[in-house]
Structures are given as C-alpha cells and as structure tokens.
Chains A and B, each alone.
Chain A
Amino acid sequence: MIPGDHQTMVRDSSGISSLFSSPPSELVMAYPAILLSESGEDPPRQESPAPIVERGPFSTSLESRFRLLKQLHEQGVDLRRGVSDQKTASPGSILSEWCSVHVRRTQDVGLEGGAYVSRYHPGLPSPERLRGSKRLWPVHFVRRVLTLHSRRAVWTCSDQRFLNTRMRISIRAPPGSDHHGLSGGRDPRRDP
C-alpha cells in the first residue's frame, strides 16, 4: 500500500494472510483535510509562509477563509498547532466574523464543541468567554458582534474536533485610521 494524502489503510485484505482469512479492507480518511483541500480554488503559492494580512471589511466569504486555511496548510503550517491570522480593522468594525464563520463551519460538519475566545482585549465591550458546549452554538450567539474599541485585539478561536484548529486572531487598527474612540494603548507612530 502506498499511503496517500489524508488517507491511510488501517487494515488491508491483500497479502498472504488473506489466503486464510480475509478481513475487510478499512480505509481512514482525514475528512476535514480532504474537504479543506477540495474547497475553493487553488490559491497562488508563496515562497515563504509569511504572515497573512487581510485588509478591508470583515465580510470575507467563507470560501475565501477556507482558501486561507488551505494556503496556510500548503505552506506547511500545522493547523493542529495553530493558525495565526492578522487583520486590520478600522475602529468600529465588527469583529465577530472569524469566530462566527468558524462556528458556522462547525455547524455544517456537525462537530460538537466549537470555538471559544481564550483571550480578549480589555477594550472589547463584552469580555465573553465563548466556550463551546456539547451543543452547537445557537444562531443568535453566532451572530454576536463586537466592536473594535482598542488599537489591537487578540483572541484565539479553537475547535479541537476540527483538525484541532486553533486560530489566533489578531486585529489591528490600520495605519492612518481614525483613532478617535480608541480605549487605551498608545499610538507607536505618534508616541515612538
């Protein structure tokens, strides 16, 4: 047997032993990896796994985010150890998109648990600990919105049942954005 990507044999009916007993072939598929690799278009490969910075609004589609995951995977990032995603957001932007999409994905594949916020910036209005339960998240909870009140917010979305994916989300206010309303921190450009 030649093991392929995301598939392994745990029992093979071929070989001498099958002359006397024929146990059924059993194949194991890492289905999340297969679905990730099959979703979306092939993104352009980069030479080095540089940090990926998405700019713009947080209404990125589900497909583009899984393309991002696939791109990270192809760059050799071990999704089971963590995925860092850095974004920029203008103050007042809605922040819940990554978690919500992740949970929607969780809901799609029927996995229990879900994402939770393990860290949050004190500037966020709701210090929610979005620990997943054994039930899927209700929709109204998924659609919770948070607003960026600080220059930077970092949290981790984690789902140990889905590739053990742990996404560290870093949201930063873009350079040159309006800083009024930020609740703390200093501007490194103005206060070097």
Chain B
Amino acid sequence: MGPSRARLVWLRVCLIGGLGPLLSVTLVGATEPITRPTCDQCEQTAHFVRLQWVSEDSHTASAPHFTHPFVLSPEEWTVLLGTLRIQRQAEGLLFRDPPGPVLPALTPEDISYLSVALSEAFARAQPHEMVVFGLSYLNAYQMTELTTGGWFVDGPSMHVVLPNYRQVVTMPGTRWLLWEHPLRPDAGPLRFDPG
C-alpha cells in the first residue's frame, strides 16, 4: 500500500467519521421544535410545560389553528386532569401478556403542578402553538421514567396527545431527545381509557 493509497483510506475514514455526526446534528437541528417558555416555574428539572409551534404538516389530526389563547382556572384543570385514565396494553404477538389495570394517568403531584402550569401556558398560547409537557420520575429501581405529551384546544374539544407514558429512559441522549421533542413517540403500546 503506497502513501497515496493510505492517504485515500484516511480521507474516507475522516469523511465517514466526520460527516455522520454532522449529518445527524443537521437533521436533528432541522426538526428541532420551535418552543418558548411560558412561566418561570413551568420549566424545571423534573418537569416542564412550554409552548411549541405546530406546523401545517403536524401529526395532529386537526388543523393546526387552535382555539388559543384559552383560559381555564387551575381548579378546572384539576378536574380535567383527574379524568385521565391509562391502561398498559397487552404486549406480545402470539402469547400476549394480559393488559394492565386501569389507573389514573397522573399522580396528585403531577396534577398539582400541571393544573397551574397548563392554566398559565394556555392563557399565553397562540393559535399555532401546542402546549407540550414533560414529567420525569425516579422509579423503585432508581431508573428515570418520562411522560411527555401535548395539549391543544379546538373549539369545544380539548385534545391530549400522549406519545410517552412512564417510558423508562436509561441513556442521557434519549432523555434529552424526549425532553426536547415531547411529541415524539418512543414507548410501547399503551392506551387512554376514556373516563
């Protein structure tokens, strides 16, 4: 192998090693959601509520022109949040585990935080903004669990999008990804149980 050949191999390694991360960063940056904070206490280490601009090609079923700003008192938010139920779906293709029990989706602490934060966020939301949120927990095994999702109001209907519920996250990069992209699904099958 001559010097020119070795130089060519080295160049290829550099291109592959350098362009890969660069391309990844570029792709992530291109899809980075446009967000803005809503209040001081809305963005904390263990939870956040923020406003996220929704584009026309959003995943949401309704047209991204919401009935925002929207005002509900924290007490009324408490009522609405308390109606959310969740159930872990049966998993497995052939030998399915039985579904889990129907449980309240949010803890009293979640509701206490979200009722205030959502009330403030929706009052500041614009018609093209969703209210997104993230909740972080430490489970009994000291593993991080994340719940992320978004809300929007369309006339008399309030939509709740919940891509991740109690999703166990072990890699810091995954946590960062879900924290910055709360509408990105990364969980196993689950379902709401309409109250």
**Cα–Cα, bound, A24→B160 (Å):** 10
Residue of A nearest to B62 (CB): A10
Interface hit among A25-33, A92-100, A176-184: A25-33
A50 within 8 A of B: no
Take A31-B80, A31-B158, A161-B156 as given contacts and tell me if A19 and B190 are in contact as well, using a CB distance cutoff of 8 Å: no
Which chain A residue has the least Cβ–Cβ distance from B93? A19
B: number of interface residues (CB 8 Å): 39
Contacts of B159 in A (CB 8 A): 10, 26-29
Instruction: Say how far A88's CB is from chain B's closest CB, in angstroms.
Output: 32
Check if B155 sits within 8 Å of A14, measured CB to CB. Answer: no
Does B26 lie at the interface of the complex (its beta carbon under 8 Å from any beta carbon of A)?
A: no
Asked if B72 contacts A14 (CB within 8 A), the reply is: no
Q: Which residues of A contact B191 (CB under 8 A)?
A: 1, 9, 12-14, 25
Number of interface residues, chain A, beta carbon within 8 A: 41
| Of B70, B89, B194, the contact of A2 (CB 8 Å cutoff) | B194
Residues A13 and B189 in contact, CB atoms below 8 Å apart? yes
Contact A108 to B71, CB < 8 A, known contacts A7-B83, A35-B80: yes
Q: Which 9 A-B pairs have the closest CB atoms?
A: A110-B71, A7-B194, A4-B194, A24-B163, A31-B158, A27-B192, A27-B160, A29-B158, A38-B79
- Which of chain B's residues have a CB closer than 8 A to the CB of A108? 71-73, 76
Which residues in A have their C-beta under 8 angstroms from that of B192?
Answer: 1, 7, 9, 12, 25, 27
Docked Cα-Cα span, A32 to B122, in Å, equals 16
Complex: A83 Cα to B161 Cα, angstroms = 33
B106 in contact (CB, < 8 A): no
Tell me if A18 is interfacial: C-beta within 8 Å of chain B.
yes
Q: What would 9 more interface pairs be, CB under 8 Å, given A9-B192, A14-B189?
A: A4-B193, A12-B192, A24-B162, A25-B161, A28-B160, A31-B156, A35-B76, A38-B79, A110-B69
* B61: A residues at CB distance < 8 A: 10-11, 26
A132 → chain B closest CB, angstroms = 15
Q: Interface digits, A79-110 against B, CB 8 Å rule (1 contact, 0 not)? A: 00000000000000000000000000001111
Complex: chain A residue closest to B165, CB-CB: A25
Binding site for A on B (CB under 8 A): 59-61, 67, 69-73, 76, 79-80, 83-84, 89, 93, 122-123, 149, 153, 155-163, 183, 185, 187, 189-195
Contact B70 A29 (CB under 8 A): no
Cα A6 to Cα B187 with chains together (Å):
26
Kindly list chain B residues whose C-beta atoms are within 8 Å of the C-beta of A32.
156
Judged by a CB distance under 8 angstroms, whether A23 is at the interface is yes
Residues of A within 8 A of B162 (CB): 24-27
The contact of A14 among B89, B122, B185, by CB within 8 Å, is: B89
- Contacts A/B (CB < 8 Å), 28 sampled: A1-B191, A4-B193, A5-B195, A7-B195, A11-B61, A13-B190, A14-B190, A24-B59, A24-B162, A26-B60, A26-B161, A27-B159, A27-B194, A28-B159, A29-B160, A30-B156, A30-B158, A31-B158, A34-B83, A35-B76, A38-B79, A108-B73, A109-B70, A109-B71, A110-B122, A161-B156, A163-B156, A164-B156
Q: For B123, what are the chain A residues with a Cβ–Cβ distance below 8 Å?
A: 110
